[in-house]
Every structure is written in structure tokens, then in C-alpha cells.
Structure 1
Amino acid sequence: MKRFLNQYWIYGVLTILVVIFINSCQKENYRQTTTDEVNITGYLENNKDQFSLFVDILYRSKTAGFLGAYGTYTLFAPTNDAVTEWIKANGKSAVTDFSESDLVDFVKYHVIRDTVATTRFSDGKIKSPTLFGEYLFTDLTDQTYRINRTASLSKSNIYTGNGLIHIVNKVLTPPALSLAEIIEKNPNYSIFTEALKETGFYDTLYFERGNIVPVEKRFQTVIVESDSVLKTQGINDYAALKQKYSHLNNPKNPNDSLWLYMAYHIMNDGKFLEDIIQSLSLYTLAPKEIISTKFENSKVLLNEDIFNGVLEPGAELNRSKSDVLASNGVMHETNQSFRIKVRPQVPVYFDLASAPEMVSALGGSYRNRQTSLIANGLPIANTFTFYPLNVSTVGTNRYTTTALSTKRPGVNGDYLDLTMSTTSPNRPTTFEIKTPFLVKGRYKVWVCYVQNSNAANLQVTFNPGKSDEQVLPNLIMLNQTLTGSGVNATVLGTDPNSDNLLLAQGYKRYYATVGDVNANGVTQSLLAKNGDGLLNVGRLAGTINVETTDRHTLSFYAISEPRWSSNAVWLDMVHFIPADDPEQYYPRFHHYPGELFYRPQ
């Protein structure tokens, strides 16, 4: 039997070797393209009735082979009529009148090394630049896509073996003028132009192709104030502008207020309206000064913010006179004047669970809970302003808001219930959220939580991954009550000096307790069943240095596992209080309806 099996094994091996030998003698056919369709050059040659002139340009520029080879490209192909019009506009009579280098640049400006279908078009720049090194701008007018506001698509999304073709009715030409020249040539910007020259920013915004420019300064954005806008501020000429802003009488000095005023209107990187709408802030050439952005009711607003509970009206961009493309960037015009806002440092009390953006990130689940709270006679009064989450860090069904508990209430009747873990693949280790506006300066950061014995310990980081990243030194141990400070419950309930004892250990009571007084002079006399508020803990995470007035990122990172498996992290608020402010303890907060209580007199 064993011999019989060995024979079959030998025959099997011999059969496999014979098959391999036969296959090795056969000729192999390698696939040369990604599809059986013609490539871009082939499509154009097959349709010479429309593209014979462009095909001629491809061969004279020696780029026909390039667009006929393997790759992923998008070509904006001008028709014969479009090329003929371009030839005449340049004072020529035929394609042969142009140099080879001119024709190479012609082709480069019409090609993107990426497949960009019209589904990726928007009111703004195409995210990938052309081979010429500059961006194309798209918009939609009367249901027709336009490129650079001059050429319309007559046919789009033609798929070939190596990319896409969009047919355009006009030749695309790179902008001839720089930002400085466009502004100077417009008589409506005479005051702004003179200010650019006097401060030296005209040279910053001037560009001539062939010049060597640092990459970070190749494209720029400028927001212009017209003469008519400046006149509404009582500024009728450059002399009046200088008198108002140039406190050193030296506009070229970076410390001069006029230099800062103009620097505040310029940003590195070319930003179209779409980019501005998607941004939370624009970083200007004024050192560590930003412009906040908001899109509201179809308006693009600059510096319209709620700060310290007060709405600060902003400036609206004139959309019809914005997105002006230059050889080195984009120009926008504003309907109102704007300037650097000088703000004092103030405490910022950030209720995490009530943030409207949290509602959006959760797909409305918080609204459902809010309805339940109202039905129970507990309306939520949102008295603060909140900003977007980094939604990419939100795990599926992992971040929720929890309604009021009679045992462990949170401010405004809610807290943020996170399931965080360092080991479970289904639970995130990190939670990030955008802060409200923080005026530059130093702040003590207090993380206010509802105690849970099953919670992971957290490490807090300010602006993770950025140049000003700061890892805060104190761990947030969410299984601790206020007694984790070392001050026992009896002392906390009876000693009038207990607040100072807590503060000395980096703890505080942030939730209103018996004896606290609200703004109407009413003394708090009732507590929820919360052990005299011991389960609502304010923990000093550390002190941060905010270098730029802006919205920033705060990250919570789980660094250890709880004793049990729920991984529940119950976060309520974060307090940012100026580091030199002696009042770190008050106001305190209550769940109904987010009422503030102050230090008894």
C-alpha cells in the first residue's frame, strides 16, 4: 500500500513539471494599458474634426506621447474654434507662429496629473494644480460649469484609458497680472494700493513668472477694502488712513499699527471662497493674528464672533467681487472694514455636552435626549458658545450625551459620556474637540468631570501635533471624588477653608453647593443626591500658553484601563481661566438651568 502511494506521488510531481515546461514555452502577452479604451491622445486623434489644432499643438510641443502613455490625467481640451480664437487674440495666424516652449506651457496649463471628474468641482480651486504649477478655478453658472470664469464645459467626464477629458469652448490662459498689479489697476482701490506701497506689501504681492519665490509664498490671498468702504470710516485718502493707524509714523516698521493693519489683510496660500468657508480661521501676515471665518445665510463673514457672551458683528465678503484669480494667488473684496481685534483675557467656561456641533456629530441623538429633558420639566439653557468637533475622532456610537441623573447631575442637565479604552479595538483611545476662542495668554485648564469608578485615566494635550503642542502634567483620574485631593469628606462638608485646601492640591468644587448665591441673590439650599457634591470634580490639568487668539484643539487620551469593563468617561466642562486670575473657584454651576452661583459675600 505504501509503495502504491509513493508511485502516485511520483506521477503527480512529473505531471506538474510537464505542465510548467509547456507553459514556459508559450509566448506571454502583457497588458500595456489600464483599459482597452484609447488613451487621451488617441481620443483626440479619433476626433480631429473637433481637435485637429490641439493635436497639432501636442505634436509640435512633443507632448502627444506623454498624454498617450500610462498615467492618470485630466485634460481640458479646447476645440478648434477655441484655439483659432486664441491664435487671433495673440496676433498670430497659425499654430506654427508659436515657439515650442510656448506650446509646452499651453499644454501644461490644460493638464492635471489627477482624474478630476465634475463631481469634484465646486465654487473654488481644483485641489490638484495643473502641470504648469498653478490652480484652475471652477464655478457653476446657469447649470454650466466654468473654468477660470471664462471657459465653459461643452462636454465633460469623457473616460479614456489614462484619464478624463473635459471639452472647453475657450483656451485656458494663466492670469497675466499679479495681485499687486490687479489691485493697482483698479481705481476703486487707490487708498489700499498706496498703503500697500508705503508699507512694503506691494512688493510682497508682486510676482513675475520666472522669479524664484519660496514655496510658502508662491501663492497668497489678499482681502481688499475699497475706497468707498474706507470712506464709511471717515478715511477719504491715504493721508487719513496713515493718520488713523500709523502710530509710529513709520509704515514700513513691523511694529507700526499701519503695517500690522495691512499685514492683517494678507495670508500665505491662495484661498478661494470655498477654502475660506471651510476654514475656521485664516492666519495672516500679522504675527500670531488670525481672522475668524463663518458661513451663515449664504454670507461669508469675517471676525463675526460671540466673545464673552456678546455678539461682535463682522465684515461680509463681497462674493461678486471675490475669487479674483492672479498669477500668484486670489483677491477678495469686503463690504465692511475690519482690523485686528484687541481683546482682554477672560475666563472661558466650556460645557462639552451642550455644544451644538456635538449634536451635529451625533446625528441628532442629543436633540432626542433634549426633548426628553424638556418633557421632564428640565429645559437646557445653553449660555455659552461652542465650536466644531474634530469629527474624525468620533467613533461609531461611542460618544453620546447623558441626561440628568438625580445622583450625578451635570451642568445644564447633561454630561458627555465617552467609552474610551487603551485595549479595546472598538473603543477610541483619543477624543478631540475644538475650544471656544481663547485670547492669547496663559490659562489654567480645569477639567470638570462626574466621578465614575470604571473610567480610564486621561492625559490632556493642547494643540496635539502642532508646533505649540503642550502636554499637561496632571493626569485626570476620573475614579476620584473630591476626596482624591487628600481632604476628607468631613472637612469638605464643614470647614469654611476647604475650598482653599482643595485648590492647593489642584482640585476644585465647580458644581454649586449649599450657601452659594446666584446673580439674583438667592442662596442655594438644595443639593441633588450627590454626597454634598463630592462626585462633581474640577481637576487642574495644567497651565497652557495660548500663542494665538483662535479656536484650538484639546485632546483627551486614555492611558490606563479601569477596574471594570464599561470604560465610561463622564466629562462635563472645561474651564480656561487666566493663570494670573486669583479667582479660580467661582462662578460655580448648577444643572437647572445652567445657573451660575457666586462666592458668598
Structure 2
Amino acid sequence: MKRNLKKQWKIGVTFLLSLCVLWACQKEMFRETTTDEVNITGYLDLHPDTYSLLSEILVRSKTAGYLGAYGTYTLFAPDNNAIQAWIKSKGKNTIADFSDDELLNLVKYHVIRDTVGSTRFTDGKIKTPTLFGEFLYTDVSSQSFRINRSAHITRMNVLCGNGLVHGIDQVLTPPTQSLAEVIENDNRYSIFSQALKETGFYDTLYFERGMEVPVEKRFQTVIVESDSVLKTQGIQSFADLKAEYSHTGDPKNPKDSLWLYMAYHISNDGKFLEDIVAMSTIYTLAPKEIISTKRDGIRILLNEDEFNGVFEPGAELNRNKSDVMASNGVLHESLQSFKIKVRKQVPVYFDAATSPELKVALGGAFGVNGTKALVSNGQPIANSLGFEKLDVLTIESNAYDYWGTLETKRPRANGDILNLSVCSNNANRVKYVELKTPYLVKGRYKVWVCFLQNGNAPEVQAIFNPGKEDEQVLPNIIFFNQTLSASGVSDMGNANADNLMLAQGYKRYMATSGDYNANGVAGGIKPKTGNDAGLNVGRLAGTIEVETTDRHTIRFLAVGGKCSSNSMWLDMIQFIPADDLEQIYPRFHQIPGELFYRPQ
């Protein structure tokens, strides 16, 4: 019996070994783009018909060693035909005609110290620079990927033991001109080019390899206006441009309007079109001035905004003349003229629940398992509504409440609220919620948080631009469980009640039943003492300093109170200029658009 078992065991082992050998053979037969048993250098050596010249360059440049050693690299590998064409274009006959340093720089421009698969290719720069210290750019042309708008990828995602190889049909060469030179050498930009020189920004955009440049200024983005675009503004020459913008007569003066105009067209960091759209805001060299960006179909628009209820048309980027690579950045061209927008501070009454982005995002269930970003029409809504722990968020469709019938006890401004779960010490609740504000013009604002009282609500602290250099923690804790009586005023019908509450940092933000607006609509809240007298609370969170005209972030961080589900009833956030004497009116109504101003 033992002998039979032993014999069966031997047969079984032999059978398994045979299967392994057969599997290994089959695996070898089907390995077309994967060769993880050799490193990058070994892979090139295995394919001399395609890459013998590149292998020779690696040896001459003394880079074969590290591309054959342990690490994580991506090599864009030009084939023999590509290298022969490159040798000829340089007026040489063989690789031996090049210096070791020339070949070393060639290799460094084709290697990234990271594994960059095709899934990371977009219409824009590869996020990790090459060993040469500059970025490569990818796009799609004729249904194939291109690198730097010249080399097509012929072999993709070849997995080696120390990284990836992508075969290409042309040698990649770094841009030879700086941004300043690209602009200067294009006669379509003669006025803009002269303006760069007169303001001193030509030197900012000039670069020679080997120059010592601060890291933040190594790469730049410039958006140029062509002579033809400037001529549509009546500007025929640089003299006209100077007469239009230079109010001091000294364009090199950083306070001069022409200096600011040119600074507004330049930004630190090299940004391709896809980067520009993704950022939504470009911070320029003009101090504290930004350019807003957005996509409209295939169009990319600058400064097309709605501000204070007024639509502001923007300028479109010329795709055919944009994404132009230079040795120190990227050039884009605008189809229309654009300049710094001069705006006055105005009160901003932000109805959190009626934000178009939030209506879409909160209109249905979230899907709480591992979801990290809200989605609108298939696109992520960047920074519109952020939670600390979205994976444990319990809010579903009831996170957005809309009341179609008039409510006298706790009416909502414009008929809706955000109904949120926020808690400081419960793992099943988020600890904070963030909202993206409307545009705020730079200056000082008083921040009023307007909410519906709920006895089970949390206590929160407002933080403006959390995690940024201009982060500001507002001093007053917002008790969402308090009524207006927390101001010390118990008789809401008192003629001086509003002023007494205002002195303590409280106010009514909803119109009372004794108020009538210009349309003859009556308010909904009874002004006298009673259960419904102070359940709509306007609380002063503090004063903020807005340094840059832009959309900003405000966070509501739970610091105490109860932890009941969906008990934080946020209605509005009002940003009123700190020097504005009118902090109480207008008041609001459940009917959208019905405003109540101070009686004359």
C-alpha cells in the first residue's frame, strides 16, 4: 500500500512539473510587450535590429550601467532609423562624431526617473521631468500618442525589470530657445516683444542652460497677444500700448499700469492647456491678481465669469498657437485682449444650497463606499464641496432640502438649506465640511453664518482658506443649536432689537411678517417673542482679509456640541465688506429673488 502511495505521489509530482514547464513555454510565447526578466539595457540588447544604435549611445555616454541596474525608469527609445536620421540632421556620419557629453544629454532627455505608463499620457506635460531637468509633452495625433508633437510612439509599455520602455520613431531634442527668444523671433508678436523689453520681463523670460535660476522661476508660462489682436483694440504700435497703459511713464516701475499689464500675462511654472483648465485659476506675476479659466466644449476661456449677477465675457486661447514649448516654459496665444479686472468690493450673499455645483452634487445619493470626489456630468467637481472623511459620510439625497411650501417657523432663504452631519468625536460623522465661495474681491469682509436652529446641532468654527498661507481661523464659535436669544435680546419686537443684536454679533437675516418689499411680498417670520421668533440665526463668525480676488474655501470644523445625524442646517454665508455700515439688510424670503431692503 505504501509503495502504491509513493508511486502515485511521484506520478503526481511529475505531472505538476510537466504542467509548469508547459505553462512556462506558453507564457514565453505570449510575452510580446513584457520582459521583466531583463532590465532596460538588457531589453535593448535583445533587439539589435531595432535598438543597436541606442545601445551604442548608452555605452558611449556611460548610462548603460544605471539603466541596467535596479531602479524605476521610463525610457523613450528612438529606433535605429530615428537615430540615423538624427545623425544626418546634425551633419555627422556616425555616433563616433559626437562627444560623450552630447550623447549623455541626449540620453538624459529621453529618461524619466519614474515608471510612466500610457495611462498617464494626457494633452499636457508628463508630471515628472526628465533626467535632463525638463519636461516632455504628450498629445494624440492620428489616433496615436506623440511626444513633444514630433515623435510617435511605436511600441508602448514594454515592462522591464527596472521600468518601462516606449519605442519612438524620432529622436527627442530639447527646445533651443527660451520664451523670450520664441516671442522675439516671431514677427506676429512685435508689439508684445517690445513691451517685454521695456518692462524688464524679457530678462524674466530669457534663459540659457547653465544659468542659475530660482527654482520657482525655472519654468514660466506666458500668454501672448498678437499684433493683430492688439490692433483690434486700436493699438498699432508699442507707443500706442504705452500711451494706453503706462500711467507713470516708467514701464519698469512695478506700480506702473503697463508693468502690471505685462505681469498679468506671465505665471510661474510651465502650464500646458490641460494644466490651465485643471487649475481653474492662474496666479500671475501681477501681485495678488489671478486669471480664471474654464472649458467650454473644446474652447478654453480666460476670465469668463459671472460676478455680482453680471456676465463678463472672456478671452479664448488659440489652441493652434498654444502649448508651444521653450527651454524654460510654455507659450500660449490669446484670440482676444485681456487685462486685470478692476472691481469694487460688494456684499456677497452666498446661498450654499442654491450653488449650481452643489445642487447637482447633492441631488442624489453619494455612494459612500470609498468615494473620494463628487461628480457632475461625469466630471469631478474640484473643491466645490469637500469632506474630511467622505467614506463614512451618512448623508444621502436629503443632504439638500428644498421646501416648496412657505414655512413660518424656520423658513429657508430661497426655500432651501444644506442639511449636514458634522461631528467632532464620532467616526460615523465627518469632522468638517468645506465650501467653495463665489468670487470675492480682495479686501476685508465680515463673515455672517446664517442657519436654522436645531437643538441637536454641533458647534463649529469657521476657517478661511484652510491649509494655505493666508489661512484665517475666525474667532467666534458658531452654535448651530442656539437661537437669537443667545444675543441677550429676548424681545424681538423691540424697536431697537436689531441694533442690540448686531452689537453682540447676531442678526435676523430673514424678513419678518411686518416687512413688505417693493413687490408687495410680506416676510414670513413673526418679529415678537415666541417659539418662531429667533430660530433663523445670523451669527458673525469674524472678519477675514481676502488677499486675492478669487474663489476661496471656507471650512466649518466641528469643535463640540451634539452628534445627531443631519442636524447642521446651513442656509447662507454672507460676506459683507467690513467698512460697510449696512450689515443687516437686505433680508431674504423663501421665494427666490424676493429681497427686503431697509425701510426708508
Query: What is the TM-score with the length of structure 2 in the denominator?
Result: 0.88
- Could you tell me whether the CA contact under 8 Å between 2:509 and 2:584 is conserved in 1? yes
CA 439–36 in structure 1, closer or farther in 2 if over 3 Å, else same: closer
Say which SS state the counterpart of residue 588 (structure 1) adopts. coil
- Could you tell me whether the CA contact under 8 Å between 1:395 and 1:427 is conserved in 2? no
Cα offset, 1:567, TM superposition: 6.3
Could you list the per-position Cα deviations for residues 406-427 of structure 1 after superposition, in whole angstroms to 9, with x for gaps in the alignment?
A: 4433222211111111211222
Correspondence list, 1:90-129, <5 A? 90-129=90-129
Matching of residue 324 in structure 1 with residue 324 in structure 2: yes
Could you list the per-position Cα deviations for residues 256-302 of structure 1 after superposition, in whole angstroms to 9, with x for gaps in the alignment?
A: 11001000000011111011001121111111111111112221111
Correspondence list, 1:415-426, <5 A? 415-426=417-428
Q: How far apart are the structure 2 equivalents of 1:594 and 1:388?
A: 27
CA 150–35 in structure 1, closer or farther in 2 if over 3 Å, else same: closer
- Could you tell me whether the CA contact under 8 Å between 1:355 and 1:387 is conserved in 2? no
Q: Which residue of 2 aligns with 1:581?
A: 580
Which runs of no fewer than 5 residues in structure 1 stay unpaired? Answer: 1-33, 367-385
Q: How far apart are the structure 2 equivalents of 1:296 and 1:365?
A: 27
Q: How far apart are the structure 2 equivalents of 1:580 and 1:97?
A: 73
Say which SS state the counterpart of residue 291 (structure 1) adopts. strand
Q: Which residue of 1 aligns with 2:24?
A: none
Q: Which residue of 1 aligns with 2:40?
A: 40
Q: Which residue of 2 aligns with 1:518?
A: 517
Task: Letter of the 1:448 partner, please give it.
Answer: C
Q: How far apart are the structure 2 equivalents of 1:355 and 1:220?
A: 34
Task: Letter of the 1:332 partner, please give it.
Answer: H
Task: Letter of the 1:309 partner, please give it.
Answer: G
- Could you tell me whether the CA contact under 8 Å between 1:40 and 1:163 is conserved in 2? yes
Q: How far apart are the structure 2 equivalents of 1:394 and 1:314?
A: 37
Matching of residue 269 in structure 1 with residue 269 in structure 2: yes
Matching of residue 74 in structure 1 with residue 69 in structure 2: no
- Could you tell me whether the CA contact under 8 Å between 1:516 and 1:597 is conserved in 2? yes
- Given candidates 375, 378, 390, the residue that maps to 1:395 is 390
Cα offset, 1:498, TM superposition: 0.9
Task: Letter of the 2:402 partner, please give it.
Answer: A
Q: Which residue of 2 aligns with 1:570?
A: 569
Q: How far apart are the structure 1 equivalents of 2:94 and 2:448?
A: 73
- Could you tell me whether the CA contact under 8 Å between 1:361 and 1:389 is conserved in 2? no
Q: How far apart are the structure 2 equivalents of 1:252 and 1:408?
A: 58
Matching of residue 432 in structure 1 with residue 403 in structure 2: no
Cα offset, 1:56, TM superposition: 0.2
Say which SS state the counterpart of residue 514 (structure 1) adopts. coil
Cα offset, 1:390, TM superposition: 4.7
Q: Which residue of 2 aligns with 1:498?
A: 497
- Could you tell me whether the CA contact under 8 Å between 1:247 and 1:256 is conserved in 2? yes
Correspondence list, 1:20-419, <5 A? 37-362=37-362, 364-365=364-365, 388-391=383-386, 393=388, 395-396=390-391, 397-399=393-395, 400-404=399-403, 406=407, 407-419=409-421
Task: Letter of the 2:135 partner, please give it.
Answer: Y
Cα offset, 1:525, TM superposition: 6.2
Say which SS state the counterpart of residue 478 (structure 2) adopts. coil
- Select between 476-485 and 567-576 the one with higher mean Cα deviation: 567-576
Cα offset, 1:142, TM superposition: 1.6
Task: Letter of the 2:244 partner, please give it.
Answer: K
- Could you tell me whether the CA contact under 8 Å between 2:41 and 2:64 is conserved in 1? yes
CA 387–508 in structure 1, closer or farther in 2 if over 3 Å, else same: farther
- Could you tell me whether the CA contact under 8 Å between 2:35 and 2:158 is conserved in 1? no
- Report % sequence identity: 64
Cα offset, 1:365, TM superposition: 4.8
CA 185–498 in structure 1, closer or farther in 2 if over 3 Å, else same: same
Q: Which residue of 2 aligns with 1:557?
A: 557
- Could you tell me whether the CA contact under 8 Å between 2:199 and 2:258 is conserved in 1? yes
Q: How far apart are the structure 2 equivalents of 1:159 and 1:566?
A: 50
- Could you tell me whether the CA contact under 8 Å between 2:293 and 2:301 is conserved in 1? yes
Say which SS state the counterpart of residue 74 (structure 1) adopts. strand
Task: Letter of the 2:425 partner, please give it.
Answer: T
- Could you tell me whether the CA contact under 8 Å between 2:179 and 2:327 is conserved in 1? yes
Q: How far apart are the structure 2 equivalents of 1:533 and 1:62?
A: 82
Q: How far apart are the structure 2 equivalents of 1:412 and 1:104?
A: 66
- Could you tell me whether the CA contact under 8 Å between 2:63 and 2:104 is conserved in 1? yes
Task: Letter of the 2:235 partner, please give it.
Answer: I
Matching of residue 483 in structure 1 with residue 485 in structure 2: yes
Cα offset, 1:222, TM superposition: 0.3
Q: How far apart are the structure 1 equivalents of 2:120 and 2:245?
A: 43
CA 35–77 in structure 1, closer or farther in 2 if over 3 Å, else same: closer
Task: Letter of the 2:451 partner, please give it.
Answer: Y
CA 499–40 in structure 1, closer or farther in 2 if over 3 Å, else same: same
- Could you tell me whether the CA contact under 8 Å between 1:411 and 1:594 is conserved in 2? no
Say which SS state the counterpart of residue 597 (structure 1) adopts. coil
Task: Letter of the 1:297 partner, please give it.
Answer: G
- Select between 331-340 and 512-521 the one with higher mean Cα deviation: 512-521
Say which SS state the counterpart of residue 332 (structure 2) adopts. strand
Could you list the per-position Cα deviations for residues 16-53 of structure 1 after superposition, in whole angstroms to 9, with x for gaps in the alignment?
A: xxxxxxxxxxxxxxxxxx99521111111101100000
Task: Letter of the 2:461 partner, please give it.
Answer: Q
Could you list the per-position Cα deviations for residues 553-598 of structure 1 after superposition, in whole angstroms to 9, with x for gaps in the alignment?
A: 1111100131x64362111110000001111111111112352122
Task: Letter of the 2:590 partner, please give it.
Answer: H
Q: How far apart are the structure 1 equivalents of 2:48 and 2:361?
A: 52
- Could you tell me whether the CA contact under 8 Å between 2:324 and 2:331 is conserved in 1? yes
Could you list the per-position Cα deviations for residues 517-567 of structure 1 after superposition, in whole angstroms to 9, with x for gaps in the alignment?
A: 3242444367699944511110000001111111111111100131x6436
Cα offset, 1:361, TM superposition: 3.6
Say which SS state the counterpart of residue 598 (structure 1) adopts. coil
- Select between 425-434 and 277-286 the one with higher mean Cα deviation: 425-434
Cα offset, 1:401, TM superposition: 1.2
Q: Which residue of 2 aligns with 1:592?
A: 591
Q: How far apart are the structure 2 equivalents of 1:527 and 1:155?
A: 74
- Select between 409-418 and 119-128 the one with higher mean Cα deviation: 409-418
Q: How far apart are the structure 2 equivalents of 1:525 and 1:460?
A: 28
- Could you tell me whether the CA contact under 8 Å between 1:517 and 1:598 is conserved in 2? no
Could you list the per-position Cα deviations for residues 212-232 of structure 1 after superposition, in whole angstroms to 9, with x for gaps in the alignment?
A: 000000000000000000000
Could you list the per-position Cα deviations for residues 281-326 of structure 1 after superposition, in whole angstroms to 9, with x for gaps in the alignment?
A: 1111111111111112221111111111000111111111100000
Could you list the per-position Cα deviations for residues 130-157 of structure 1 after superposition, in whole angstroms to 9, with x for gaps in the alignment?
A: 1111100011112111100011111211
- Could you tell me whether the CA contact under 8 Å between 2:523 and 2:589 is conserved in 1? no
- Select between 497-506 and 35-44 the one with higher mean Cα deviation: 35-44
Q: How far apart are the structure 2 equivalents of 1:533 and 1:90?
A: 84
Task: Letter of the 2:238 partner, please give it.
Answer: Y
Task: Letter of the 1:417 partner, please give it.
Answer: N
- Could you tell me whether the CA contact under 8 Å between 2:512 and 2:522 is conserved in 1? no
Q: How far apart are the structure 1 equivalents of 2:387 and 2:102?
A: 45
For these two proteins, the number of residue pairs brought into alignment is 545
- Could you tell me whether the CA contact under 8 Å between 1:441 and 1:546 is conserved in 2? yes
Q: Which residue of 2 aligns with 1:15?
A: none
Task: Letter of the 2:447 partner, please give it.
Answer: V
Say which SS state the counterpart of residue 154 (structure 2) adopts. strand
- Select between 53-62 and 290-299 the one with higher mean Cα deviation: 290-299
- Could you tell me whether the CA contact under 8 Å between 1:456 and 1:567 is conserved in 2? no
Query: What is the TM-score with the length of structure 1 in the denominator?
Result: 0.87
- Could you tell me whether the CA contact under 8 Å between 1:221 and 1:268 is conserved in 2? yes
CA 362–310 in structure 1, closer or farther in 2 if over 3 Å, else same: same
Q: How far apart are the structure 1 equivalents of 2:237 and 2:78?
A: 45
Q: Which residue of 1 aligns with 2:369?
A: none
Which runs of no fewer than 5 residues in structure 2 stay unpaired? Answer: 1-33, 367-380
